[in-house]
Structure 1
Amino acid sequence: MSSSNSVTVQILDKEYSIICPPEERSNLVSAARYLDSKMREIRSSGKVIGADRIAVMAALNITHDLLHNQERPQAPTSGATREQVRDLLERVDQALADDAGSKPA
């Protein structure tokens, strides 16, 4: 994919460039906004310090909510939706790993 498929999102005051198919741009931006809001909630509580720890807590909270919602009987979620969520999470993980690798030791 070319850089024209790159989307820049801002999460907790940091910018991340993520390669994304054009048809997934709005989903990626929505996911980033949601993650940003969850991370800001955690940071504002004052109980968790450090962006890495805040990110882990946000991931755990979001995953807990997802698993809890899957346990409740609802309209079935398609396998395609689950795959899209997994794909977006992998991209965010990769962007975070790339960012962590670029920090000076």
Structure 2
Amino acid sequence: MTTIQINAMIMGQSYTLACQEGEQAALHHAVAYLDQKMRAIRDAGRIKGTDRIAVMAGLGIAAELLSMQRAEGPFAGLTIAQWQQQIAAITEVVDQALAPQEKLF
């Protein structure tokens, strides 16, 4: 597989990141999500310093992931690849359901 480099902005700071070919969109989504979380923490005004903000955002995201993996969580026992498969299957069902509706417009 080919490694691709992308430029990303997180809280106004430019980063060059690497990912596998075909994974650019997922990495851009992850960057946007992290940027959103970090900006929310910064804007709350309680924590100063980008490094501390990054740690708090990382902890928040880790807590979200762990809560989803709990035995009673909606994604209990699933790997990231299995989540992606589930999301792709749901997207396909939605697309199929919406296709006849598009003809009406």
- Alignment TM class, shorter chain as reference: 0.5 to 0.7
Name the residue aligned to 1:81. 81
Cα distance, 1:31–1:75 mapped onto 2, change above 3 Å: same
SS of equivalent residue, structure 1 residue 7:
strand
Aligned AA for 1:17?
Answer: T
What aligned pairs does 1:53-68 form with structure 2 within 5 A after superposition?
Answer: 53-68=52-67
Instruction: Indicate conservation of the 8 Å contact 2:67/2:73, yes or no.
Output: no
Question: How many residue pairs align between the two structures?
Answer: 82
SS at match of 1:47: coil
Shift of 1:68: 0.9
Match of residue 88 from structure 1: none
TM-score of the aligned structures, taking structure 2 as reference length:
0.68
Q: Would the aligned equivalents of 2:34 and 2:57 in 1 still touch at CA under 8 Å?
A: yes
Structure 1 residues 47 and 8: alpha-carbon distance in aligned structure 2, compared to 1, 3 A threshold: same
Q: How much identity, in percent, do the aligned residues show?
A: 37
State the match for 1:28 in structure 2.
Answer: 27
Q: Distance in 1 between matches of 2:68 and 2:62?
A: 10
> 1 or 2, which has the higher helix percentage?
1
* Cα deviation code 1:25-66 (max 9, x no counterpart): 000000000000000000000000000000000000000111
Displacement of 1:79 in angstroms is 3.0
Tell me what 2:14 maps to: 15
Letter of the aligned partner of 1:73 in structure 2? G
Q: Give the RMSD, CA atoms, in angstroms.
A: 2.4
Q: Which runs of 5+ in 1 are unaligned?
A: 85-105
